[in-house]
Amino acid sequence: MPAINMATALNQALGQMMNTEPRLVILGEDVGQNGGVFRVTAGLWETYGAERVMDTPLAESAIVGSAIGMAIGGLRPVAEIQFMGFLYPALNQIFSHLGRLGQRSRGKFRVPLVVRIPYGGGIRAPEQHADSAEAPLVHTAGIKVVVPSTPYDAKGLLVAAIEDPDPVIFLEPIRLYRLGRAEVPADLYRVRIGPARLARTGSDVSLISWGAMTHLALQTAEAMAGDGVSVEVVDLRSLKPMDEAMIAESVRKTGRAVVVHEAPRTAGLGGEVVSVIQEHAFWWLKAPIRRVAAYDVPYPPYAWEDVYLPTPSRVMRAIRQVLQD
């Protein structure tokens, strides 16, 4: 199997699905002739033409609203929001329509729509280009939310999302697009939406994360191994539905848990993970659960993002705290 990065894996998934699914269309800002700001749609406009790979105006609400109409009309649209910080004008379409239409129509309409959203920090992007606002999306009933942390999962999850009969928000960690390579099958395959991935086994503490923070968790686990601490890393990869069984199983084994995410701490998705642990693994806990997250302030200028985002030292400090409690 060839070793490719995440951006190439996503491009493969889109190209192969366009070849096998004639109803699939792509729309978004600069996705056509320019191939997307991160080159994820590179080459697709040349191959499939402007009727299937459509450049849109800078109008996020119109992008998602048009895609909803396309999905109801029988197409399989994949809409791209260029950066998560640009998503907010489209939230009315997502909150009020995307997840509700199946129920409102008593099952008459299905909305097989994928909304791709590059998100997160770590690449020195300008203001409003590095948000991590997964929590309100997960809170919205009627949609699934997934986020890969490896090229293999990126391709397989995107194929599964496109084939899903209901809407899927597909979050793509910006800093992982070209952070290393991994073996990815050249043929089509699927990674089922829902199950988490056990990224590393351990016995002393469970680190639970998703997206780019999974790489931070693995880096921290490797560093802690040098100190004789065995860290287990759970990569959620599906935020909704969430694999509560794997979270509980890991914490029951280790007795300690640290949750890591790059969104602000207050009302972040880490609080939901903590609730899952409290409900399903409370009697196995040997110490209070810790959260490592970004601070409750607007995302800072890029020169300060290393201070704002979780770091290995902050995660290691949380691990040492749960080991001492």
Which of 97, 129, 215, 261 is catalytic? The answer is 129
If 0-12 CB within 10 Å is exposed, 13-18 middle and 19+ buried, where does residue 163 land?
middle
Q: Tell me, yes or no, if the two domains 3-183 and 197-324 fold the same way.
A: yes
- Model pLDDT for residues 263-296, shown as the tens digit of each residue: 999 999 999 999 999 999 999 999 999 999 999 9
Q: Is the pTM higher than 0.95? A: yes
Q: Any idea what DSSP says for residue 90?
A: G
Give the integer Cα–Cα distance in Å for 216 and 306. Answer: 13
Instruction: Provide the angle, in degrees to the nearest 10, between the axes of the packed helices 212-225 and 312-324.
Output: 60
User: What residue ranges of the chain have pLDDT lower than 70?
Assistant: none
Give the integer Cα–Cα distance in Å for 184 and 5. Answer: 9
- Model pLDDT for residues 186-242, shown as the tens digit of each residue: 999 999 999 999 999 999 999 999 999 999 999 999 999 999 999 999 999 999 999
> Which CATH code fits 197-324?
3.40.50.920
| Residue 261 designated active-site | no
Per the prediction, the chain carries an average pLDDT of 96
Q: What is the per-residue pLDDT for 105?
A: 77
Domain boundaries, the chain: 3-183, 197-324
Displacement of CA 162 from its chain's centroid (Å)? 15
> Which CATH code fits 3-183?
3.40.50.970
